[in-house]
Structure 1
């Protein structure tokens, strides 16, 4: 099967929301996608993961991604799911699905306890359920630290139980990944403070924990990207904003040793950026888009070989994607 990554939505330089584009990684070609059906309203910022190879952005050796804010987007069993986000009118709490085979959108009629309207909720898929955490309601200045899940069979939303004092602080612009049967949250922003804590949620035990990690811990940041390389049990994070400047540093967290390490890459490192997106494809991490300190938006595609730790820009052909602030990616 041809491996294809997709970019869904986002904010371009004239503050309009975009539809989508795909890149055939094996032939380095972009092409614009034209889905039909009951399409959700144009909105910005989102997260993509793919069932079966996930980490939020969840990210396995063949798929997925996570970063951005405002919208949660998942690819599972031939469908992409989009939750919530912000359009020109307000924050949303709707759920849409894209049938990848027919390229058709439809709204999902959900049941249960819907998550409150929000942007900045990130998500992962574990088995037959989609989990979302955090976000921001915009109007009232409320940041969330709740964890909801959606069952694909029953099409029902419910909130995951947890002890309040064990939860991470409310936040948005964090990363959310899945490794084994646990969800991990790193970094983010709550309107006044940035974070560099790593928190885990055991899906089976239904319990949060704050990890006491060793090594060289990344600085406080938000708007960074994170992917999981399951073959080596590593979480890789790149870039972000520390409150003073955009970043282009790269760190790995080893799930086995509980240690952080700053990665020193060879080649040409990507320019400083945040609110970009990243995806795992084989043993490579790809980074696309984002914005820098001067508000310049990127439409470049950067590659990091996780074996050699060599970085380089990928020069594609065909329909080049316009520069984005946030967007979503998935690999099929």
Structure 2
């Protein structure tokens, strides 16, 4: 039987419009659900990739790599703004990418944010690694306010503190005292009391360890030469000028001084007219000067040499008389007051250098060889009485003279100096490393025959 007429009739235009609206609403609902599901899955995948990358990345605190915010990867927008041209100029550049939906734009922004914040490791510069037993130079970082760039100053160590006094630059001499804590490398300018020495350079400073006092003798400033003797008590930070008796040494600078068995010994220097080679002795307990009568062949008159106490011997090396740069070595026996000349081949001329005794070796740094300033390290073996060459790694001090060198905690500390053009205020350290045992070598004999 046929269906009723009203069921077979053609839908009106209103019915067709209502059906299209309902169909469109259903489709949009399904699209939003699909988009939400896709966005959630992509977000989870992005989070998983980020955590996996983080777990496999190198710790940014690792010293092997450094992270630089100025060298991040360019974002996608930046890459699009910078066209990349192929090697073949006839080939057209690729067409820019087009995004067809807001969903793709959101994902693109999320990817760009992640990639633009990914740090890029900067390769560490190649550094030559020194063998474990090798000596190593390095320039240290200091803190606080230290001395100005100076030369011809003095530096001594008392209980882990380096005391720097005097010196000069192109404007004149100084009478300032600075201290450097050799554990923290912090500069200080302590408050001092008493009778402070005048500005001076090329003076000598020697430590009396039992009394924790520093004896400062001679020096000068400009045309002035001094023969005064000052003492700094490092416990009370008080300067005093000693009143002495006996034949006082003549005014001089560029001399050397050592303390042995409560006696202060002075050798050489210059008075502005002549170079000197006399020896004076001060009895510290009685404050009495005496001229030492020596035997043997005296060193020629000189200044800007070094004098190093090795046991009961005063070792004189190098210096100049104003015309010749010397490379000879002389020893004064402080028991017999007899001079001994050491026959060295070859001789190494040097003046305005620094030296220090470490075990059975004399360590010498810098100075002038009569032609140019040096930055090498010389080692004189007192047992064989011969120069030795050791390879030293690291960053050595620039060539200089008129600097100072002290030893603390098996390390040599070099400060200041002058290279003919520039004054220095830097601090360098020579780490003895495997050679630190030399400090403990005290049982050796210098053959003077």
TM-score normalised by length of structure 1: 0.80
2:351 is equivalent to residue 244 of structure 1? no
**Corresponding position of 1:291:** 368
Q: 1:26 and 1:218, CA in 2 relative to 1: closer, same or farther beyond 3 A?
A: farther
**Secondary structure of the structure 2 residue equivalent to 1:240:** coil
Residue 27 of structure 1 and its aligned partner are, at CA, apart by 2.7
Distance between the aligned counterparts of 2:342 and 2:171, measured in 1?
42
Matches within 5 A, 1:28-107: 28-45=135-152, 71-107=153-189
The structure whose residues are more often strand, as a share, is 1
Pair 1:135 & 2:135 matched: no
Q: How many residues are paired up?
A: 275
Whether the 8 Å CA contact 2:277–2:299 is kept in 1: the answer is yes
Distance 1:227 1:179 in 2: 11
SS in 1 for 2:175: strand
Structure 2: which 5+ runs fail to align?
A: 1-131, 409-449
2-structure distance, mates of 1:198, 1:96: 30
Residue 187 in 1 paired to residue 268 in 2? yes
Q: Note the C-alpha offset of 1:26.
A: 6.1
Aligned partner (choices 220, 225, 243) of residue 306 of structure 2:
225
Regions of 4+ moved over 3 Å: none
Structure 2 CA distance for aligned equivalents of residues 26 and 175 of structure 1: 33
- Counterpart-to-counterpart distance in 1, 2:144 and 2:399: 26
Deviation (angstroms), 1:153: 1.4
Q: Which residue of 2 aligns with 1:215?
A: 296
Once the two structures are TM-superposed, the CA of residue 291 in structure 1 deviates from its matched residue by 1.0
Provide the TM-score with structure 2 as the length reference: 0.60
Shift of 1:89: 3.0
**1:82 touches 1:97 (CA, 8 Å); kept in 2?**
yes
1:167-200 CA-to-partner distances (Å, cap 9, x unmatched) read: 1110011111111111111010111011000111
Q: 1:105-162: per-residue Cα shift (whole Å, max 9, x none)?
A: 0001100001111111210011211110001111xx1100000000111111001111
Contact 2:373–2:401 (CA under 8 A) maintained in structure 1: yes
Residue 227 of structure 1 contacts residue 279 of structure 1 at CA under 8 Å; is this kept in 2? yes
Aligned to 1:331: 407
